[in-house]
Amino acid sequence: MRFVAYITSLGLLLSLTRQTYAQGSIDGFMRGQRKASLAIFGSQETYDTYYINTTETKNPNLGTVTTQAVTVVGTYGLGYDLDLIVSAPYVRTQASAGYFPKQEGFQDLTGTLRWEAYDYKFGKTKLSWEFAVGYSMPMQHYVNDAMVAIGRGSQNLDGRTLLHFKAPNFFITGQYGYIRRGQVKLDHIVNTYDPSQINPNSGTKVNVPDVTELIIRAGFVSKVVNIDVWGQRQTPHSDGTNIGPGIPFPTNAVGFTRVGATAYLRLLKQFGLTAGYNTTLDGRNIGKSTQINAGLVIGHWTANN
CATH number, domain with residue 193? 2.40.160.40
pLDDT of residue 80: 87
pLDDT of residue 49: 96
Residue 4 falls within a domain, yes or no?
Answer: no
**260: nearest Cα among 212, 234, 227, 303:** 227
Residue 16 falls within a domain, yes or no?
Answer: no
Residue 56 falls within a domain, yes or no?
Answer: yes
pLDDT of residue 14: 38
pLDDT of residue 184: 92
Residue 19 falls within a domain, yes or no?
Answer: no
Residue 106 falls within a domain, yes or no?
Answer: yes
Q: What pTM did the predictor assign?
A: 0.87
Mean pLDDT by 10-residue block, N- to C-terminus, for the chain (305 residues)?
A: 38 42 60 86 94 94 94 91 93 92 93 93 93 94 89 93 93 95 86 63 82 95 90 91 88 94 88 93 95 89 47
| Number of structural domains found in the chain | 1
Q: How many CA atoms lie within 13 A of 257 on its CB side?
A: 3
CA angle, residues 206, 48, 279, in degrees to nearest 5: 85
pLDDT of residue 245: 84
Query: How far apart are alpha carbons 268 and 7 in whole angstroms?
Result: 19
pLDDT of residue 25: 60
Query: How far apart are alpha carbons 113 and 116 in whole angstroms?
Result: 10
Residue 3 falls within a domain, yes or no?
Answer: no
The residues, any chain, with a CB within 8 Å of residue 268's CB and separated by 6 or more, are none
pLDDT of residue 5: 38
Instruction: Report the DSSP beta bridge partners of residue 41.
Output: 71, 295
The DSSP letter of residue 96 is: S
The DSSP letter of residue 65 is: E
Residue 254 falls within a domain, yes or no?
Answer: yes
157: left (phi > 0), else alpha (psi -120 to 50), else beta?
Answer: beta
Residue 109 falls within a domain, yes or no?
Answer: yes
Domain that holds residue 134: 35-299
Q: Say if CB 275 and CB 35 are below 8 A apart.
A: no
Query: How far apart are alpha carbons 75 and 56 in whole angstroms?
Result: 38
pLDDT of residue 107: 93
For residue 219, with 0-12 CB atoms within 10 Å meaning exposed, 13-18 middle and 19 or more buried, which class applies?
Answer: buried
